[in-house]
Amino acid sequence: MAALAILEDLLASCALAAMVVLPLLEIVLRRFAGVGIPAAGPIVQHLVLWVGFLGAAIAARDGKLLALATGAMLPEGPVRRGATVAAAAIASGLTLLLAWGAVELVINERQAATSIGANIRTWVAQLALPIGFGLIALRLLWTADRRWLGRGLAALGGLAAAMIIRVPEWLVAQAFTPWLLLLGVAGVCGAPIFALLGGAAVLLFMIDGTTPAAVLIETYALNTSPTLPAIPLFTLAGFVLAEGHASARLLRVFRAWFGWIPGGTAVVCAVLCSFFTVFTGGSGVTILALGGLLLPALLRDGYPERFSIGLLTASGSLGLLLPPALPLILYGIVAQLPMEDLFIGGVLPGILLTAMTAGWGVRQGLAAGARRTAFDWREGGRALWAGKWELAMPFIVLAALFSGVATAIEAAAVIAAYAVIVQTVVHRDLTTGRDLLRVFTECVTVVGGVLIILGVAVGLTNYLIGAQVPARLLEWTTAHIGSRVAFLLGLNLFLLVVGCLMDIFSATVVVAPLLVPLGAAYGIHPVHLGIIFIANLELGYLTPPVGLNLFLASYRFKRPMLEVCRAALPMLAILGAGVLVITYVPWLTLGILDWLGRL
């Protein structure tokens, strides 16, 4: 088992490293030799498939697959153990159905004998799907319980799936309601999100008499889309920063320049968290990586503990609207919008939410009489010099993108390589051997947990579109809601619920295609709709009882969940007001775009 784990880590890390190297070689060869690498683009896209599904298998091995937080709310003891076994049984059975669909896809592609380029057969690249799902199903069973009895009970789900695979006609024309209830039970018990979304898609297609391969066709298409590689590459840059001492250097910079104002440390925390979340994508890395550094700093300077925990819990998702944040990239892929327009449109809304958070910090700093840091030009200069490499990162990305020197994928590869070089060669915070392997593996684990959700979620979305759900939703909405203002308010409330129940990535893939035609019907600019969408889901991270940031903060700061919820309520109100401003003042999103003539 240990040897298999090491092999998986190496393969996934090498695939991620190749995703960095190939686009960099493309830039160099294109500029100096006027040629490129044959099939470099398709190869990088298919490497995403392997990174995603090997990463998901590693996440299943380590118990890190994303799940609804409701499972953690169950009482300890026999109840939780029983719920864990039930969730594993249902999830492993659904995962086997997905694996069966993946096998069908590979067989069909092998018969078609197509190639992705450079004499690489498409079906060989697609093997990541059945291998990934198969490993995940086995690991869900193995981790269901420490006892063989529990594992045996969980295996009943796999047995049921095997019977369905043998006689798929059993599902044809059945009612979906009992299956929906089963999925609901699995979700409450803590089943992985990918199994719930993918299982729903597979069951709906099979009830309609369609093979599960229909889901995997969409999974394959999304995971090999031309712009998706930017997500794992930007995530890698964020992980490398978080694992080095970049946070300490940036804290020194922001403290030296902003620590003199009232509430300076709180302002620094908001800005620093926003900077990190731009690259980590709201995956929880910001709270986990910076919480241990920033909470003691706030308490040491005299800020109340409740305020400090609430501030850091909220700040863990700041930055999702600032370029090149991962949710902006994914929304652009799903809604088929220019990534650059979303980057520009998110600048002022992202600054607004960060400024409102910092403003609350100023108010609390004055009320608590918190200690300030006297401004010193020399310290400010030294701090800037020490942190210059990290501070340059967002400007390097934007310069590469808007100058036309690099595509979005190449810019992401540049910044990932830049982060690795800065942390290993310039600052030497990380060694080039064991440390990098650990960082790459951790990055692949998080990326895999996200990409597998995106892959199966797009299958569910495809079913909903085929069932004309967007058209029916548009018809109902326009018939019952005549006012644009009322529609936007209803949209805010709906997305707030979605944001606290689903992670931002799966919500984007499932929900965004349903809302795009609605936004067009009410005359909302598509970029503005995208920023409203992401801003609301950012707020959902803080929404009790199952907002993701609440659970992460409870884990990181070792505080009861109820205490964290109470601490976050003021920030929820403040950021909620900011989301309303973003929603009803479209100039914040469209003003710069209009000035640049991109509308």
Whether 9 is covered by a domain: the verdict is no
Model confidence pLDDT, tens digit, residues 130-185: 999 999 999 999 988 888 888 898 899 989 999 999 888 888 888 899 999 999 99
Look at residue 403 and tell me whether its pLDDT is greater than 90: no
Rounded to whole angstroms, the Cα distance separating 494 from 502 reads 12
The amino acid present at 282, given as its one-letter code, is G
b/e map of 198-233 (b: 16 or more CB within 10 Å)? bbbbbbbbbeeebbbbbbbbbbbebbbeebbbbbbb
Model confidence pLDDT, tens digit, residues 342-384: 999 999 999 999 999 999 999 998 888 888 888 889 999 999 9
Tokens encoding 289: 């990586």
69-78, 218-227, 319-328, 473-482: least confidently modelled range? 69-78
Q: What is the mean pLDDT of residues 295-304?
A: 90
Rounded to whole angstroms, the Cα distance separating 475 from 125 reads 41
Query: Domain count of the chain?
Result: 2
Whether 11 is covered by a domain: the verdict is no
Task: Please provide the average confidence, as pLDDT, over all residues in the chain.
Answer: 88
pLDDT interval class at 74 (50, 70, 90):
low
Taking each helix axis as running N to C, give the angle between helix 213-223 and helix 434-466, from 0 to 180 degrees, rounded to the nearest 10: 130
Q: What is the mean pLDDT of residues 565-577?
A: 91
Q: 3-class DSSP state for residue 115?
A: strand
**Residues 318 and 408 both lie in one domain:** yes
* End residue of a domain, out of 223, 248, 267: 223
Choose between 550 and 96: higher pLDDT. Answer: 96
**Residues 564 and 510 both lie in one domain:** yes
Model confidence pLDDT, tens digit, residues 99-136: 999 999 999 999 998 999 888 899 999 999 999 999 99
**Residues 213 and 245 both lie in one domain:** no
Whether 24 is covered by a domain: the verdict is no
pLDDT (0 to 100) of residue 282: 59
* End residue of a domain, out of 168, 196, 223: 223
Q: What percent of the chain has pLDDT over 90?
A: 43
Whether 7 is covered by a domain: the verdict is no
- CB count within 10 Å of CB 583 equals 24
pLDDT interval class at 98 (50, 70, 90):
very high
Rounded to whole angstroms, the Cα distance separating 469 from 514 reads 8
Note whether 314 and 289 are within 8 A (CB). Answer: no
Q: What is the mean pLDDT of residues 488-504?
A: 84
pLDDT interval class at 546 (50, 70, 90):
low
Look at residue 479 and tell me whether its pLDDT is greater than 80: yes
Rounded to whole angstroms, the Cα distance separating 504 from 500 reads 9
Choose between 589 and 70: higher pLDDT. Answer: 589
pLDDT interval class at 388 (50, 70, 90):
very high
Confirm whether pTM is higher than 0.85. Answer: yes
Residue matched to tokens 């830039």: 27
**Residues 240 and 183 both lie in one domain:** no
Cα–Cα nearest to 228, from 29, 8, 505, 507: 505
Range of the domain at 511: 230-596
**Residues 145 and 252 both lie in one domain:** no
Q: What is the mean pLDDT of residues 496-503?
A: 78
Note whether 12 and 55 are within 8 A (CB). Answer: yes
**Residues 162 and 272 both lie in one domain:** no
- Contact residues for 467 (Cβ-Cβ < 8 A; gap 6+): none
Cα–Cα nearest to 93, from 183, 167, 169, 213: 183
**Residues 256 and 151 both lie in one domain:** no
Indicate the helix (H) or strand (E) that contains 420: helix 408-421
Query: Cα(first)–Cα(last) distance of the chain, in Å?
Result: 55
Model confidence pLDDT, tens digit, residues 10-38: 999 999 999 999 999 988 888 787 777 88
Q: What is the mean pLDDT of residues 405-431?
A: 90
CA-CA-CA-CA torsion for 582, 586, 592, 595, nearest 10 degrees? -170
pLDDT interval class at 198 (50, 70, 90):
very high
pLDDT interval class at 480 (50, 70, 90):
confident
Model confidence pLDDT, tens digit, residues 438-461: 999 999 998 898 899 889 989 988
* End residue of a domain, out of 188, 223, 258: 223
pLDDT (0 to 100) of residue 108: 93
**Residues 328 and 391 both lie in one domain:** yes
**Residues 426 and 499 both lie in one domain:** yes
**Residues 56 and 140 both lie in one domain:** yes
Beta strands per DSSP E along 407-540: none
**Residues 218 and 237 both lie in one domain:** no
Tokens encoding 136: 């995940």
Indicate the helix (H) or strand (E) that contains 117: strand 115-117
Whether 255 is covered by a domain: the verdict is yes
Rounded to whole angstroms, the Cα distance separating 119 from 295 reads 54
Whether 282 is covered by a domain: the verdict is yes
**Residues 241 and 180 both lie in one domain:** no
Whether 18 is covered by a domain: the verdict is no
pLDDT interval class at 73 (50, 70, 90):
low
Whether 190 is covered by a domain: the verdict is yes
